[in-house]
């Protein structure tokens, strides 16, 4: 399972993503193999992010599927075009060093 962040360019007038964005993306989820869940981070409006959880054979395929899902959502809900797609990527998470990790 991957969590892919779809990063969007801010709305030209500074608006936050609509409250219904998660429902719009989830509504297209059946069109993407492996879709599980969506979470929308509407704020800050300068850096809106859509988190898409999905199963995929590889990281690259997960990122491509998330981009496809966002673009399909925009095709069905044209008002989402105001938030331009920037990129889709799995966030890298680093762990703090703890001695017990070396064991």
Question: What CATH number is associated with residue 80?
Answer: 3.30.70
pLDDT attached to residue 101: 60
Q: What is the pLDDT along the chain (103 residues), one digit of tens a residue?
A: 999 999 999 999 989 999 999 999 999 999 899 999 999 998 887 889 999 999 999 999 999 999 999 999 999 999 999 999 999 999 887 766 666 665 5
How many structural domains compose the chain?
1
Domain assignment of residue 63, given as a range: 2-101
Query: The tokens of 5 are what?
Result: 């962040």
In whole angstroms, give the CA distance from residue 94 to residue 97. 9
pLDDT attached to residue 67: 97
pLDDT attached to residue 90: 94
In whole angstroms, give the CA distance from residue 26 to residue 28. 5
């Amino acid at each position: 399972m991957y969590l892919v962040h779809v990063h969007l360019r801010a709305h030209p007038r500074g608006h936050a993503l609509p409250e219904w964005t998660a429902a719009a993306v989830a509504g297209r989820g059946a069109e993407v193999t492996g879709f599980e869940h969506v979470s929308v981070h509407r704020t800050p409006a300068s850096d809106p992010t859509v988190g898409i959880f999905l199963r995929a054979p590889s990281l690259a395929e997960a990122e491509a599927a998330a981009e496809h899902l966002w673009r399909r959502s925009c095709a069905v809900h044209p008002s989402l075009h105001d938030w331009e797609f920037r990129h889709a990527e799995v966030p890298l998470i680093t762990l703090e060093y703890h001695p017990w990790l070396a064991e």
